[in-house]
Structure 1
């Protein structure tokens, strides 16, 4: 079985020292870069399967590294982000990052995000048409939604919103991405409008809309649908 190759791009020595043994112990091959130029060189020549990318690099903005990678590859990119860089997280996600993990982070959380991102790559060629989460079943082929076997009546826009979340399940998707995909680019800044629809959707699919377990809020960034249950 091929060893998964991870490129870690971060100029903080303690992050590199923390991540390399943890990733190696999980049977990942680790490549390291401390600058944006080195990251682009390794991404282009060493064919990593996934990239962990810090936004604050010494020679160039991490978003420029992401932009460069996206010119030749669609490999998953997980942003390693400081809490005070909310706008940069959103910009990176809109540029094509797959997810982000806030510093300081636990290795367990990071590994979970890595597994999710890699699963999305393996499933991209054959997208699932049926997912189940917390008793909710969404069948995009039949265009049906049920909760513990009972049909859930959704408006066309509520259904479209749910499908967008399902297609990105397990990963964060920004307000702007959701609004653009469901209502069109002209509405990408209508975040209050989106909150209303998320509230309506939660009222129909969550056991307790005040303590959601299916549609999770990523404060200031967007939403994340809980990872579907395994078949």
Structure 2
């Protein structure tokens, strides 16, 4: 009977999210099973298509070595082989500070969460530790590799170029992805570009007195109503306050 194989997918949030999400590592998915090598390879490709990871970290030992070799031939995934050193307890100790600090978030209600937590919380006394191994590899990689965003950027640039030079369909075929995934990458890139331009313009305004209220010193957002005396500009509310206080406008 084959040993258990496992895969965990981790996302990293470096700053507080738009809805108040805390910075840290977010467990997006966890899977394990006793499967044949061909099924293991199929699962690896499926998860890569689903989550579009910045790095696919695979233990360079046992079946992991064969999986790395096969995926290098069949895919252009951002593979990251990792050599194991020391026993499992020593390796787990490297990830323990991150977990103890509450920086690993686990979703409530996911169908796989209960089994995942049962194994991780019982380590090293649990009958299996495949989830623990995968989690440790992911945490150590994310905490030690500052270039993963760069690899993602390079890959996305290649995808965007293929989509624009040819078509989304051609890019999907080239990168083994769905057309809607390609379109989403291009759309996100365009949106991010607009946001960067807007942010650059906003930051430029912050250093220009013309775009600051002379009364409160806060930014005057383009398109909002202002009071302008040809020398200084004021928010409407600030101009009203100045009149009430008898201050010049």
TM-score normalised by length of structure 1:
0.29
Q: Report which of the two has the higher share of strand.
A: 1
Q: Which has the larger radius of gyration?
A: 2
Q: Going by fraction, where is helix more abundant, 1 or 2?
A: 2
